Homo-oligomer: A and B are copies of this chain.
Amino acid sequence: MANLKQLAQSLGLSITTVSRALDGYADVSATTRERVRQAAKQAGYHPNASARRLRKQRAELVAVTLPSEPGHIGPAHFLEMLSGCAEHLAAAGLNLVIAPVPSGESELDMCRRFVDGQRVDAMLLVRTKRHDERVEFLQSRGIPFVTNGRTESTIQHAFIDGDGLSGFRRATLRFYDAGHRRIGHIAGPQAYFFAHERKKGWEAAMNDCALPTDLCIEQAPTEQGGYEAALELLNRPDRPTALVCATDEMAIGALRALREVDGGDLISLIGHDDLPIGAFTSPSLSTMRMTGGNLGHSFASLLLRTIAGEPPETLQELHAIEFVDRDSHHRSSPVA
């Protein structure tokens, strides 16, 4: 509650000395330092954050912009990731503020507001688009940032991402090896880098196998989107015997479609993200996930290293995808 001035006065010392004592500088005698520490503790003194920020020219804040797709903010494990990230950042004296994009404003406007008011020291971008205007903007302003998901920008920037192309390619090939010849893809919005990448992975595998790539539908990355896409694919005359879904949420929606159509219980399916709920669906959901431990922590440490000035080229993590096999990916042995 008290401030430095009052504390100094009560100790008969100067503000300078008290400040330096608390910060552990060597030009304060050990006895004085201890005396100051005691008094500070006693008085419940904590430096005023705004004052320190002003003086140090650091906001001690990092913002993460939240995409605001109507009705659906993102995968269910998003908050967990942010929480892990915030925890790691807090250990370095940085707090994480969440910045949802208000309706009628662009994600770029959001960034501008935080950056131009010098409200943040750095930014976190999630759900990056293939062409993401935020990247160019932050780069031009010289604000450190890390993205969760790559972009197609020529600008080098720090990112952390899963190798979705490889994952979806391998998943598709695995279906091929199991005898499937009509393998469909339920794709997410192609403006997102991750969704495009996953589709490319599926396409690459289909091309490898000399199979047509028309069994694909793009939909919203939600259960409802997955449900609708699956229904549409299943109603085609050449309906697929296996489905590769861009996300677990879409896959869960697709599962419902499979339950609703004749013979749907023979169709195999795989998702991506490894949501905890996947173990409890019917059938249980086979899926994929990024390797590499706590995503939030990695995200935070990349950001700290970016702030510290390490060059972006050395701060790009592309993690392998691993399969999490449950029941949904081997429900039949189709005859070709």
Pick from B44, B83, B249, B256: contact of A98, CB under 8 Å:
B83
Pick from B47, B91, B100, B277: contact of A252, CB under 8 Å:
B277
Given contacts A79-B78, A84-B100, contact A223 B277 (CB under 8 A): yes
For A80, the closest partner residue in chain B by CB is B73
Q: How many residues of A contact B (CB 8 A)?
A: 56
Residues 51-105 of A contacting B (Cβ, < 8 Å): 51, 53-54, 59, 61, 63, 66, 68, 72-74, 76, 78-80, 82-84, 86-87, 90-91, 95-100, 102
So how many copies of this chain end up in the complex?
Answer: 2
A290 to chain B, nearest CB (A): 17
Choose, from A181-189, A192-200, A279-287, the stretch at the interface: A279-287
Pick from B61, B91, B97, B223: contact of A102, CB under 8 Å:
B91
A328 within 8 A of B: no
- B282 and A256 contact, CB distance less than 8 A: yes
A68 to B87, CA, bound (A): 10
**Which A residues contact B (CB, under 8 angstroms)?**
1, 44, 46-51, 53-54, 59, 61, 63, 66, 68, 72-74, 76, 78-80, 82-84, 86-87, 90-91, 95-100, 102, 116-119, 222-224, 227, 249, 252-253, 255-256, 259, 276-277, 279-282
